[in-house]
Amino acid sequence: MARRELKQERAERTRAMVVEAAADVFGQLGFAGASVSKIADRAGVTLGAVYFHFRSKDELARHIVSRQPELVVPPHSSQGLQHAIDVTLTWAYQLPVDPFLRAGARLVWEQEQFVPREENSHQQWTSIMADNLRAAQARRELKASTDIEAVARLVVNACTGAQMHSYVETVHTDLPNRVAEMWQCLLPAIAVPSALSRISIDESRGRAG
């Protein structure tokens, strides 16, 4: 293997270690409590190595927040309204065990310190949820009266509140249950009867196998 490739491989490995360490540190200490030197220590690399890959603590935090949606991939293939539900159940199931999602949840209430207002995680998730609901609408699963954007905002708000309260009460253990319950309350308002009878909000939709 050529020398340049070896060097690049090592750089990529270091970058991944830094991001992983940042997720741990942000998840434990939040944005205000974290520092680049704590992240370097946790990763076992020099300060210079962190700054080679990221310009600042802000950039590291933005990176972790912006990656959240791509980490949530439902284990069961689905479309339309079922997919919208599956995304939330998968997130709820993974959150307690995924350091990146835990960091994202911890950073959400400090994000005005490092994320431009229009790129915050609420906007990001609302836009994904609205896309999923539009797909559901195209499949004629939603009532004509459904306000897609409003429902998307409600789902994201309710999931945010659920994860906060679930953390305080059960360290996120009952989060899938709370998310399923949210859909149970909401579906009669938005889904047509034929869709309602097909849709599953069973928590296992968020788990592989």
Residues contributing to the site for a copy of itself (CB under 8 A):
32-33, 108-109, 111-112, 117, 120, 122-123, 145, 147, 150-151, 153-154, 156-162, 164-165, 167-169, 178, 181-182, 184-190
- What distance lies between CA 112 and its chain's CA centroid? 17
Instruction: State the nearest-atom distance from the C-beta of 6 to a copy of itself, in Å.
Output: 43
Q: Which is nearer to a copy of itself, 3 or 117 (CB)?
A: 117
Q: Which residues contact 78 (CB under 8 A, 6 or more apart)?
A: 85, 86, 205
Which residue number, 60 or 179, has a Cβ lying nearer to a copy of itself? 179
Q: Is 117 helix (H, G, I), strand (E, B) or coil?
A: helix
Shortest distance in whole angstroms from residue 53 CB to a copy of itself:
27
Q: Which is nearer to a copy of itself, 35 or 157 (CB)?
A: 157
Q: Are 185 and 154 in contact (CB under 8 A)?
A: no
Cβ at position 177, least distance to a copy of itself in Å = 10
DSSP bridge partners of 142:
191
Which of residues 51 and 120 has its CB atom nearest to a copy of itself in the complex? 120
* Cβ closest to a copy of itself, residue 135 vs residue 154: 154
Q: How far apart are CA 149 and CA 165, in angstroms?
A: 24
CA–CA separation, 162 and 174 (whole Å): 9
The least CB distance from residue 146 to a copy of itself, in Å, is 8
In which element (H, E) is residue 59 found?
Answer: helix 57-71
